[in-house]
Amino acid sequence: MTTISSQEASSLDREIFRRRTFAIISHPDAGKTTLTEKLLLYGGAIHLAGSIKARKAARYATSDWMEIERQRGISVTSSALAFDFEDHTLNILDTPGHKDFSEDTFRTLEAVDSVVMLLDGAKGIEPQTLKLFEVARMRSLPILTFINKVDREGVDPFNLLSDIERTLDIAALPFDWPIGSGSGFRGVWDLRKQEAHLYESVDHGGEKASERILQADSPEIGGILDSLPDRSAFQDEIALLSHEGTSFDTKGFLAGRVTPVFFGSALNNFGIEIFLRTFLEMAPPPRAYQSDKGPVPPDSPHFSGFVFKIQANMDPQHRDRFAFIRVCSGRFLREMSVTNASTGKTLRLSKTIQFLGQKRERVEEAWPGDIIGLHDPGVFRIGDTLCEKGVFHFEGIPSFSPELFARVILEDPLKRKHLKKGLDQLSEEGAIQVFQLDPQGERDLIVGAVGALQLEVLKFRLEHEYNVKARLDPVGYDRARWLTGNTEQIQALSGTLDTLLVYDHETKPVALFRNEWALRYVVEKYPAIGFHGTSPRAFHEGRG
């Protein structure tokens, strides 16, 4: 055990203060890949944008299975990216979208300190953004909003602000305002500093856009404003919004009740730098995490962290898994010995990886807010706490309600043991959840997933890794609620139409519903039952 010197303590503080760990939440096609790439470009981690997109494009030109494999591959390599911008280190965590939208996408938000909500300016709030927003809100994460694609026609900034406020019930306060839109989009007006940021597009945004900043009283401003379709309307808007902006509620922002809004075009690099700089100023550094022994602040001198994602390699020849850890406190050093609080076992952490820009590297040292990948010979589970000193458990990561459910039908009923082993291991990775019709697990098993790809992957892996051929028959339920409260009433649910009573892996009762209507009916009829969209958040108990 090492004791930390005062010099090391001050470097710990400095490293914590420098870090920003966040995720971008958006609906597919809003421009998350493009924005991520542009952030890397501005951070100097890449020199010419276009490479991440090229990889992404390649993944669509494949057969079904290859697509799954590639998507999993891509998810591994982009689980978390670290890069520096001036004095800061940023960690961007990927929230997989498209077909690989899964519980991982939700769980990623357990490991970040803030969120960037990215919207397509022509579309506003879309379903996947809404789902992720709800998870961010549950965690009270601070949210900054970037409205993308302002270079497209038909973007109405005021409508977008009211869409955010109405749909998400969060106050939306613009920090900058588009100067022109569509093909006439020139730049953004910084509402705090009262200056115009004007850009020239550069060859499809492969390099930083050249930017000119003009103060409000600059003689050139007149010409810029005259080029707008309605100069006086723009000036009225600026006057109105500048007034509103004087009372920004920082506390409300940190608690996720107010979101600052920025406009731009990720493709053309318009509005990126002003957004990035304000993000660094506003987004909080690594926070304290709750444990069963009280809050663990990031500057506590000993390393601790938790597993928020487990990624298995799809290649059956190499069954290696990686566990992704969020560092919560202290300094991580490769080769250090830690206790896995869930098993009580001591582990030496030597096989470590981190993704820096586009490079995959061995991690020698990491600080609170950083994400490290650990080679996992099957010893980790989602939610495990690793401690350098003492033994404590961080709050458990809840399970989120799946949206697709299927009954598992074995082709060979004698393979039930294999099936259970396979399902246990695959649910530990967190891609699927397993429910049983009876607490003892003797009757049929039902699997649930958030995305369709997970069920395809499940079937494939059962067959290829566990030698179990199974059919997955869809059952027509689309949401689950964990139940608490009156046991008699909970039992009575089993006779209700359009509702199925099942048990999760900890034999906690869960009800599956066919639709929103069925859920509402039951909620009204059984007031003594508590209905929860996620499994109760608990401290992980030890496992042998």
Q: How far apart are CA 509 and CA 102, in angstroms?
A: 22
Instruction: Choose the stretch contacting ligand G4P; rule: CB under 6 A; options: 32-40, 232-240, 355-363, 394-402.
Output: 32-40
Q: Which CB, 30 or 426, lies closer to ligand G4P?
A: 30
129 sits in the region (left: phi over 0; alpha: psi -120 to 50; else beta) called alpha
- What are phi and psi for residue 198, nearest 5 degrees? -110, 140
Binding status of residue 32 toward ligand G4P by CB under 6 A: yes
Instruction: Choose the stretch contacting ligand G4P; rule: CB under 6 A; options: 136-144, 194-202, 263-271, 299-307.
Output: 263-271
Q: How far is the CB of 32 from ligand G4P (least distance, A)?
A: 3
Lateral strand order in the sheet of 509-513: 470-475, 404-410, 445-449, 433-436, 499-503, 509-513, 479-485, 529-532
Binding status of residue 478 toward ligand G4P by CB under 6 A: no
Site size toward ligand G4P, by CB under 6 A: 16
Q: How far apart are CA 419 and CA 470, in angstroms?
A: 8
18, 123, 131, 149: which one contacts ligand G4P (CB under 6 A)? Answer: 149
Q: How far is the CB of 34 from ligand G4P (least distance, A)?
A: 3
Torsion of CA 420, 422, 428, 431, to 10 degrees: -110
DSSP labels for 328-385? Answer: EES-EETTEEEEETTTTEEEEE--EEEEETTEEE--SEE-TT-EEEEEESS---TT-E
Binding status of residue 15 toward ligand G4P by CB under 6 A: no
Q: Which CB, 52 or 490, lies closer to ligand G4P?
A: 52
CA 331 to chain CA centroid, nearest Å = 24
Binding status of residue 29 toward ligand G4P by CB under 6 A: yes
Q: How far is the CB of 509 from ligand G4P (least distance, A)?
A: 38
Binding status of residue 265 toward ligand G4P by CB under 6 A: yes
Contact predicate 363/415, CB 8 Å: no
Binding status of residue 139 toward ligand G4P by CB under 6 A: no
Instruction: Choose the stretch contacting ligand G4P; rule: CB under 6 A; options: 67-75, 260-268, 360-368, 435-443.
Output: 260-268
Q: Which CB, 74 or 522, lies closer to ligand G4P?
A: 74
Torsion of CA 284, 286, 289, 294, to 10 degrees: -90
Q: How far is the CB of 153 from ligand G4P (least distance, A)?
A: 10
Q: How far is the CB of 135 from ligand G4P (least distance, A)?
A: 18
Binding status of residue 33 toward ligand G4P by CB under 6 A: yes
Q: How far apart are CA 15 and CA 520, in angstroms?
A: 48
Q: Which CB, 30 or 261, lies closer to ligand G4P?
A: 30
Query: Do the strands 289-291 and 365-366 form a parallel or antiparallel pair, or are they unpaired?
Result: unpaired
In the complex, which residues of this chain contact ligand G4P (CB under 6 A)? Answer: 26, 28-34, 53, 148-149, 151-152, 265-267
